[in-house]
Amino acid sequence: MSMQRAYEDLIGRWKELQLLQSCAAVLGWDERTYMPRGGAAHRAEQHALLAGLSHERATAPEIGELLSRIEEGDEQFTPDSAPAVNVREIRREYDRRTKLPRSLVVALAKATTLAEQAWQEAREKSAFETFRPHLEEVLRLTREAAEALRAGGSAYDALLDRFEPGETSQNLKRVFGALRDELAPLVAAIVDSGRAPDASILTRDYPIANQTAFGIAAAAAIGFDFERGRLDETVHPFCSGIGPGDTRITTRYDRNRFAQAFFGTLHEAGHGLYDQGLDDAHSGTPMGDAVSLGIHESQSRMWENFVGRCRAFWTHFFPKARDVFPAALADVSPDAFYFAVNDVRPSFIRVEADEATYNLHIMLRFELEEALVEGDLAVADVPGAWNERFERDFGLRPPDDAHGCLQDVHWSSGLIGYFPTYALGNLYAAQFFEAARRDLGDLDGQFAEGEYGPLLGWLRERIHRHGMRYRATELVAEVSGEPLGHRALMTHLKAKFGPLYGD
């Protein structure tokens, strides 16, 4: 069999696998939006069947044989060409899946299902002790998985690699350490400034139908294509790229919380714009897929914060908002509104955190989960370690574990090594946005006119259309001209919050 034939065979199999997984994605979207509660048990069976089929196909020995035939042949694909990228990434995924013994995969699935239930109960009662044995079991199995997957780096690196291929804990420590050194004093200065916006502006009466219309208009304005996607309601908002021409975004509404639905919509639309910008010609292969969770998050964060919370954006949108929500905004000045959407204040809950303090939440989780995985921290000591570090970073002590180490679902779900991708998203976004500003000139002038096409076109050209051609670290260096670092994000945060909080 020629290399070309083997490659075509491999790609055919991989596209079928992706089709199967996209069927599961439709079911997952339905489950989280419209499925009646009564459908849960049947849906679980559908998911289990599809997951089993996917696993079988993804780990089929034929895939391994085709990969070897391509890799060991005399001819080779040109590095960075589409076929070379596809082979590299399919190899990575195949190895990851086949290195884990089936018994471990099954044990992890069971342990995390039980742990998630235990976590929900424990969080409601703020009772860490009832969750502790479950987290110990999930951690034990996760460490076993890390040992099986480990290739040179640390155990934590093996877990991180699943979400952010190529990233290492050593590099994260370097970047996060430098970020913390500058961010903590900035947050402290904001708190000490004694200044604060009138945040009550955002909790007035915002009728939900108007919020929906306003959110859809904003998502469309920044370029989300509603012919190739839709927006629905859910409890925990997400974006699901079902396939070419079908990107689903979601948000949740509260009549008295304008910011929640609006910035949530911009965030998910940012994810959606990335999915809509992937190259359809490469659909179903790594070249038509997103680079990593961190790069995905950079797109959502850019539209949510760098665009959606900038002054020029509201120069365009505030008069419209006033028309749509006259009762809430008639007596509000554009400056007061702009300050309100950029309210910075230390708080206990990550998902409600502002643009500045958010990264402190993430770095704290990274520090703890890395110590757990490397055996430097016992599960029983998590609440104490959490509270101690929280006080160090935020100057506040969580009143209970529900407001501390029990607030996030990730660890109970076995998503250890996932948290850093949120902070990476912010760091990448800052570097990309700075580069876009360099290339596109007066971005603020464009935003104030309601023109978002130049920025979106730039993102399509520099990032979206390349699929997985570059690893995140390469892409960031390539697009921004410098390796991952804290400088661009801190420059952005200081430039924004200095004037608001009186330098």
State the catalytic residues: 268
**Which residue, 157 or 297, has its beta carbon nearer to Zn ion?**
297
Phi, psi of 243 (to 5 degrees): 170, -175
Stretch that binds Zn ion, among 15-23, 170-178, 291-299, 348-356 (CB under 5 A): 291-299
**Strand 239-243, strand 229-233: pairing:** unpaired
| Minimal distance, residue 320 CB to Zn ion, in Å | 25
| 300 contacts Zn ion (rule: CB under 5 A) | yes
- Contact in structure between 11 and 86 (CB atoms under 8 Å): yes
Residue 86 or 305 having the CB closest to Zn ion: 305
Instruction: Let me know: does 447 contact 316? Beta carbons within 8 Å.
Output: yes
Nearer to Zn ion by Cβ, of 297 and 370: the residue is 297
Type of residue numbered 419: F
Site for Zn ion in 86-105 (CB under 5 A): none
Amino acid at 57: R
Q: Which is nearer to Zn ion, 145 or 363 (CB)?
A: 363
Which one of 220-228, 290-298, 303-311, 318-326 is the stretch in contact with Zn ion (CB under 5 A)? Answer: 290-298
Q: Given the complex with Zn ion, which of 289 and 297 has the nearer CB atom?
A: 297
Nearer Cβ to Zn ion, position 83 or 165?
A: 165
* Count of positions on this chain that bind Zn ion (CB under 5 A): 2
Provide the minimum distance between the beta carbon of 267 and Zn ion in the complex, in angstroms, as a whole number.
6
- Binding region for Zn ion (CB under 5 A) out of 11-19, 245-253, 289-297, 370-378: 289-297
Q: Which stretch binds Zn ion (CB under 5 A): 87-95, 118-126, 300-308, 405-413?
A: 300-308
Quick check: 251 binds Zn ion (CB under 5 A)? Answer: no
What is the residue whose two structure tokens read 């959490």?
Answer: 386
Residues 396-425 that bind Zn ion (CB under 5 A): none
Least Å distance, CB 300 to Zn ion, is 4
Q: State the residue number with the nearest CB to Zn ion.
A: 300
Cα-based torsion angle of the residue sequence 279, 239, 259, 208 in order, rounded to the nearest 10 degrees:
110
Identify which of residues 279 and 297 has a Cβ nearer to Zn ion in the complex: 297
The reply on whether position 426 binds Zn ion by CB under 5 A is: no
Residue numbers 115-134 binding Zn ion by CB under 5 A? none
Which residues, including other chains, have CB under 8 Å from residue 414's CB and lie 6 or more apart? 108, 111, 112, 115, 138, 141, 142
Tell me which residues in 308-367 interact with Zn ion (CB under 5 A): none
C-alpha–C-alpha distance, residues 248 and 252, integer Å:
14
Provide the 10 A C-beta neighbour count for residue 48.
11
DSSP string, 95-155: HHHHHS-HHHHHHHHHHHHHHHHHHHHHHHHT-HHHHHHHHHHHHHHHHHHHHHH--SS-H
**Whether 394 contacts 353, CB under 8 Å:** no
275-289: string of b/e by CB count within 10 Å (b at 16+)? bbbbbeebbbbbbbb
Give the torsion through C-alpha atoms of 160, 162, 165, 169, to 10 deg: 10
- At residue 282, what is the residue type? H
Q: What is the contact mask toward Zn ion in residues 142 to 161, using x (rule: CB under 5 A)?
A: --------------------
Sole window of 115-123, 295-303, 364-372, 487-495 interacting with Zn ion (rule: CB under 5 A): 295-303
* Other residues' Cβ atoms within 10 Å of the Cβ of residue 348: 18
CA distances from 252 to 89, 227, 263, 385 (A): 35, 21, 10, 33
Tokens read off for 377: 């921290």
Nearer to Zn ion, 77 or 358 (CB): 358
User: What's the closest the beta carbon of residue 222 comes to Zn ion, in angstroms?
Assistant: 15
State the nearest-atom distance from the C-beta of 459 to Zn ion, in Å: 16
Which one of the spans 19-27, 79-87, 188-196, 297-305 is the region binding Zn ion (CB under 5 A)? 297-305
- Residue 133 Cβ, how far from Zn ion at the closest point, in Å? 31
Minimum Å distance from CB 353 to Zn ion? 13
Least CB distance from residue 239 to Zn ion, whole Å? 7
CB of 475 vs Zn ion, minimal distance in Å? 18
Integer CA distances (angstroms), 125 to 118, 120, 122, 128, 413, in order? 11, 9, 5, 9, 19
For Zn ion, the closer CB: 230 or 238: 238
What whole-number distance in Å separates Cα of residue 88 and Cα of residue 99?
16
Binding site for Zn ion (CB under 5 A): 297, 300
